């Protein structure tokens, strides 16, 4: 029974944490409607990596320097807001100034993907507090479950985005930029109210 509760809690944490990554994956799919499966796995893998590593880092911080982490956790909403406003604003500017021949060139760069991964997973550092009573192996197992859930959800977001991107075409960059800015504001407001 205890293992079952651990599994359910980890899956639910994974679903909750993956929602921002899902939205950004949806946006990435909108902007690259010809994306191949290998690229989809790379994008989902980036989000998965950060969703895995952040709870582990949070757990380590709780067990080593928790006083410092409490001060840093106050900055998390600001960092996420800045990163997503930057990425979303850049997408909006590119969408407005994009010419017809540039339409298929708007590919996600590796550096932007890394920024997206950090921005959507930085709040997962706080999960280290939620799993602080776990031993290291349990915390690691929980993080692996969160990562698997994130990968599946992100692949779903990319597929849905690709399908919608085919229909929306030119409006995808604008929509994607607004979605990222909205996510940044939502993370910021949620962090300020917590």
Q: What is the pLDDT of residue 124?
A: 83
Could you report the per-residue pLDDT of 128-180, keeping only the tens digit for each? 777 888 899 999 999 999 999 999 999 999 999 888 876 665 566 677 677 77
Separation between Cα atoms, residue 167 and residue 114, nearest integer Å: 27
- CA distances to 3, 14, 35, 145 from 8, in Å: 9, 10, 33, 10
pTM for this prediction: 0.76
Helix and strand totals (H; E) in the chain: 8, 0
Q: What is the pLDDT of residue 51?
A: 95
Could you report the per-residue pLDDT of 3-61, keeping only the tens digit for each? 888 898 899 888 888 888 898 898 898 888 789 999 999 999 999 999 999 999 988 88
């Amino acid at each position: 029974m205890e293992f079952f509760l651990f599994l359910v809690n980890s899956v639910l944490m994974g679903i909750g944490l993956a929602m921002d990554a899902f939205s950004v994956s949806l946006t990435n799919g909108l902007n690259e409607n010809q994306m191949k499966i290998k690229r989809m796995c790379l994008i989902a893998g980036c989000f998965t990596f950060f969703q895995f590593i952040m709870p582990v880092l949070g757990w380590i911080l709780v067990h080593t320097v928790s006083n410092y982490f409490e001060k840093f956790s106050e900055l998390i909403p600001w960092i996420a807001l800045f990163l997503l406003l930057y990425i979303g604003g850049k997408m909006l500017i590119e969408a407005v100034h994009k010419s017809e021949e540039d339409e298929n060139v708007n590919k996600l760069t590796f550096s932007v993907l890394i920024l997206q991964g950090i921005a959507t997973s930085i709040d997962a550092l706080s999960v280290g507090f939620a799993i602080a009573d776990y031993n290291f192996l349990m915390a690691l197992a929980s993080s692996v479950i969160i990562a698997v859930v994130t990968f599946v959800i992100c692949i779903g977001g990319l597929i849905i985005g690709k399908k919608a991107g085919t229909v929306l075409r030119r409006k995808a960059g604008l929509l994607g930029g607004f979605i990222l800015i909205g996510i940044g504001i939502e993370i910021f407001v949620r962090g300020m109210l917590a």
